[in-house]
């Protein structure tokens, strides 16, 4: 087994896991208070919100990988490199066609995750506005940093805001971008180690969960996005997710190594 392959597998899993962990911090999570129109954000737990968007990214990335392997879109050499486990060797990884294939798979993951995230943000907003009759507002900032709208006058007294205003939507998109890219990278890393498609997919799900749960332990409850004071905690999650994913990467590289 080429040592570069093993190193790249560990590195990709560590980077992917790190992206997931940091991405979770961008997602506006309101948890139960959000569902009571008591806090800004989306009314789901941190872990599962990040997982929901990341998994659509994973499904999209898997679909695009299958299209490349089946030859529907042509990136010659990628299918063989995945099949014989040489994709993470020096001459393949510097081949522009292979790099383009990797890029399109990662972008597919990003687009899927961002799409899920934007639907998860906007659908509840429709319900907040037409079902409850409340405007969208955040109590953490006085003015929306992106649109400049005044926020605090629109917040019901005794709450911490309600709905997902534009700044939080944008923040969630960044979260989706990082989460989708991370999921797709982990999937590719495992697939490149000649694991079966199902093993790679489920390994990615497992690693995704570890990082999103660790990040949600760091957030403890609710966060609104990059404008939230809690966002300053990210360096802790940075180290935590990097170390955790690195260890998971070593296990994965071990499986690949013993499989040779």
Partner 1 sequence: MSEVKEIDWYTLAGAGIIGGLICIYAAVILDAALGVNYFIFLGAIGAILATLWGADAVRKICKYGIGTGVPSIGMLAFGMGLLATLLGLKFGDYLVAKNILAMEVVGGIKAGLLVGPLAALVMALVQGFVIGFIAQNILKMKIPTMQVGMTMISGAASLIYLGYTVTIAGAFDFGTLVNNVINTGFIAPLFIVGALPMLHPFNACLGPDENQRRTLTLGVEAALMSTVIFGILSFAIFPNDIIGPVITVLLGLVAWVFAYLAYWQKVKESGTIILPTGLLPKKEEGQ
Partner 2 sequence: MEELAVSLGTLALMGACATIAGAAEDLESDFGSQSNANSQVQLAPQVGYLHRVYNKAICGEPVAYGLLSATGAAVAFALATAFAVNIVIALALGAAVAALMYGVYATTAYMGRLTGQKRFGQPIYIDVLLTTTPPIIAHAFIATMGIATFSYLLNVIIGQPFPFPILALLWGIMTGGMGSAVGDVHYGAERQYQYKPFGMGLPAAQSGKIVQKGEVGLRNSIDIAGFCVKHGGPLTGLGLGLTVFVDLWRHIIFIEFVNGWGAMIAGLLVIVVWVIGNRFLEVWARKAYGPFKKEEAT
Residues of this chain, 204-243, that bind partner 1 according to CB under 8 A: 205-210, 213-214, 216-221, 236-237, 239-240, 243
Residues 39-98 that bind partner 1 (CB under 8 A): 45-48
Phi then psi for residue 67, to 5 deg, are -65, -35
What is the rounded CA–CA span in Å between residue 54 and residue 215? 14
Beta-carbon-side half-sphere exposure of residue 111 (alpha carbons within 13 Å) = 11
Q: Is the backbone of residue 211 left (phi > 0), alpha (psi -120 to 50) or beta?
A: alpha
Establish if 255 lies at the interface with partner 1 (CB under 8 A): yes
Q: Which residue among 134, 243, 247, 255 contacts partner 2 (CB under 8 A)? A: 134
Instruction: Please say which residue, 6 or 30, places its beta carbon nearer to partner 2.
Output: 30
Q: Output 42 or 98, the one with its CB closest to partner 2.
A: 42
Regarding 145 and contact with partner 2 (CB under 8 A), the answer is: no
Q: Which does 182 bind (CB under 5 to 8 A by kind): partner 1, partner 2, none?
A: none
In DSSP terms, 160 is beta-bridged to: 39
Q: Write down the least CB distance from residue 93 to partner 2, Å.
A: 20
**Under rule CB under 8 A, which residues in 170-229 are in contact with partner 2?**
170, 173, 197-198, 201-202, 205
**Which residues in this chain contact partner 1 in the complex, by CB under 8 A?**
45-48, 196, 198-199, 202-203, 205-210, 213-214, 216-221, 236-237, 239-240, 243-244, 247-248, 251-252, 254-255, 258-259
């Amino acid at each position: 087994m080429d040592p570069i392959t093993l190193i790249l597998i560990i590195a990709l899993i560590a980077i992917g896991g790190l992206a997931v962990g940091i991405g979770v911090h961008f997602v506006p999570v309101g948890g139960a208070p959000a569902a009571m129109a008591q806090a800004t954000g989306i009314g789901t737990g941190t872990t599962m919100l990040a997982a929901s968007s990341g998994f659509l990214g994973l499904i999209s990335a898997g679909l695009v990988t299958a299209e490349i392997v089946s030859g529907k879109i042509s990136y010659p050499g990628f299918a063989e490199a995945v099949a014989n486990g040489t994709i993470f060797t020096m001459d393949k990884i510097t081949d522009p066609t292979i790099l383009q294939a990797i890029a399109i798979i990662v972008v597919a993951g990003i687009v899927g995750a961002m799409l899920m995230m934007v639907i998860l943000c906007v659908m509840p907003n429709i319900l907040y506005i037409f079902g409850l009759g409340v405007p969208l507002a955040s109590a953490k900032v006085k003015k929306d940093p992106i649109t400049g709208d005044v926020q605090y006058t629109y917040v019901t007294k005794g709450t911490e805001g309600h709905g997902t205003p534009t700044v939080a939507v944008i923040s969630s998109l960044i979260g989706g971008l990082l989460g989708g890219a991370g999921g797709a990278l982990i999937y590719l890393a495992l697939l490149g180690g000649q694991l079966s498609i199902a093993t790679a997919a489920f390994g990615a799900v497992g690693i995704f969960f570890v990082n999103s749960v660790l990040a949600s332990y760091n957030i403890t409850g609710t966060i609104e996005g990059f404008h939230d004071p809690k966002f300053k905690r990210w360096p802790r999650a940075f180290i935590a997710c990097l170390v955790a994913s690195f260890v998971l990467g070593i296990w994965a590289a071990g499986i690949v190594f013993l499989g040779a």
